Structure 1
Amino acid sequence: MDSVIFDLDGTIWDPIDTVLSAWNNVIRKSSLINSELTRKDFEGTMGLQMNEISRKLFPTLANTERQKIIKDCCEVEQSILEKNGGDLYPNVENVLKELSQKYKLYIVSNCQDGYIEAFYKSHRLDKYFLDFENPGRTGLSKGENIKLVIDRNNLSNPVYVGDTQGDLEAARFANIPFIYAEYGFGQVSQYDMKVKSFEELLRVF
């Protein structure tokens, strides 16, 4: 193994409370939506791309209305995440620091453009990662973005760490091993290895 590619939400951090606050700030000002979102609403969208999230959270809105709401929510979300960050899982930086001394580290997440940059800015962890990708920049699926990072960085033996069924499917698409972050948001029945905490990655690797 020469490298580790990470999912972000539910794997490295839990951003839901920050994101929820940002989105509800926008929703309160909208005449199209009658009720605010809950943490449970967001937990059900983890691992999905933004167009899938918008359909799931706002099923009664027309497509143009959903796009406008999502755009506004993401703009507010990014500015708040940059300032406040999310909840890092225990000892994330220590684990990343140790892993980065042995392996090349990357992030591939199903997020909008600017989201990973906001994560970097709020928690100052960019120094541990060599590259990242997301569908907001490429328009590609997570599996395709994993392959893009592999090809772009000439990786020969990477693994993918994530917490959802979509992460498993993306790793399988890219034909690389999948490590299931059991502590995250999703339920996955198949995996090559699993960890019960972020710290446990040090034991696995």
Structure 2
Amino acid sequence: MSNQFSFKNIEAIIFDMDGTLWNALKSYAHIWNVCMAEFGIEGHIEADDLLKYMGYSIDEIFAQGIISTPKHLDRKQFLTRLEEIEDQLMPTLGGELYSGVFEGLKELHKHFTLMLQSNCSRKGLVNFMRYTGTTSLFTDYLSWGMNPKPKSDNIKLLMERNCIKRAVYVGDTQSDCNHAHTAGVPFVYMTYGFGDCADADIEFSSFHDFVNQVISDNYEQ
């Protein structure tokens, strides 16, 4: 991490969702349990069980063996139903925004283009924005469910279609960092999130401090 990093002259800020803007692990665990019960799969998933899988798509989470799957289970059918249940329940279950996120996003929206990019389901980002009342703050968004490509590709696509040359990606895992750097953008690591990161360009322990630094680098003498 460089102590000399500056946000000076950035045009856009692209945010990861889970572990960066909110914590919805309890809701996700409930959704997995509902789906497992429908398919007669034994076991129970707790929020903490999902921690190490955050940042992965549901296909990747399933492939890594989060549940013991019966031999007869139709993988595609299960994952399709899992996404359907998520779409049905997340608008009411939601998650909890981290401290300072709502106020911080409103302040950043006054000065920069804000976008969302996550490895969540097709409607995951829409559900997030509606539940948190932040829809008007984001110019664009793209999830793995909408475009099943690596996060680095989707970051670049967001920048290209919004004519953005200078952006940062804000996330909470080493994977987020790797994809940001592959996309050619600096990575901002939020240490309060779900993962670790060894080579972020800059890190913050609170969203409030992040917002203050961005504003200070661009508008204070």
**Shared fold by TM > 0.5?**
yes
List gaps (5 residues or longer) in structure 2: 1-9, 215-221
User: Could you give the per-residue CA deviations for residues 105-127 of structure 1, whole angstroms, max 9, x where no partner exists?
Assistant: 00000111111111112112111
SS at match of 2:74: helix
List gaps (5 residues or longer) in structure 1: none
Q: Which residue of 1 aligns with 2:45?
A: 37
Q: Which residue of 1 aligns with 2:140?
A: 131
Pairing of 1:1-205 with structure 2 (within 5 A): 1-31=10-40, 33-56=41-64, 57-58=66-67, 60-61=69-70, 65-205=74-214
1:192 CA displacement: 0.5
User: Could you give the per-residue CA deviations for residues 13-72 of structure 1, whole angstroms, max 9, x where no partner exists?
Assistant: 0011111112212212322x2101122221111011221111121364569623222222
Q: Return 143-152 or 63-72, whichever deviates more.
A: 63-72
Larger radius of gyration: 2
Distance, in Å, in 2 between the alignment partners of 1:178 and 1:15 is 23
TM-score by length of 2: 0.87
1:93 CA displacement: 1.1
Percent of pairs identical after alignment? 31
Distance, in Å, in 1 between the alignment partners of 2:27 and 2:147 is 25
Q: Which residue of 1 aligns with 2:217?
A: none
Preserved CA contact (<8 Å) 2:187 2:201? yes
Distance, in Å, in 1 between the alignment partners of 2:19 and 2:100 is 15
Say what the alpha-carbon RMSD is for the aligned residues.
1.5
Distance, in Å, in 2 between the alignment partners of 1:20 and 1:143 is 27
Distance, in Å, in 1 between the alignment partners of 2:157 and 2:112 is 18
Matched to 2:101, the amino acid is V
Preserved CA contact (<8 Å) 2:119 2:144? yes
User: Following TM superposition, where does structure 1 have runs of at least 4 consecutive aligned residues deviating by more than 3 angstroms?
Assistant: 58-64
Q: Return 70-79 or 134-143, whichever deviates more.
A: 70-79
Preserved CA contact (<8 Å) 2:28 2:47? no
Distance, in Å, in 1 between the alignment partners of 2:70 and 2:199 is 35
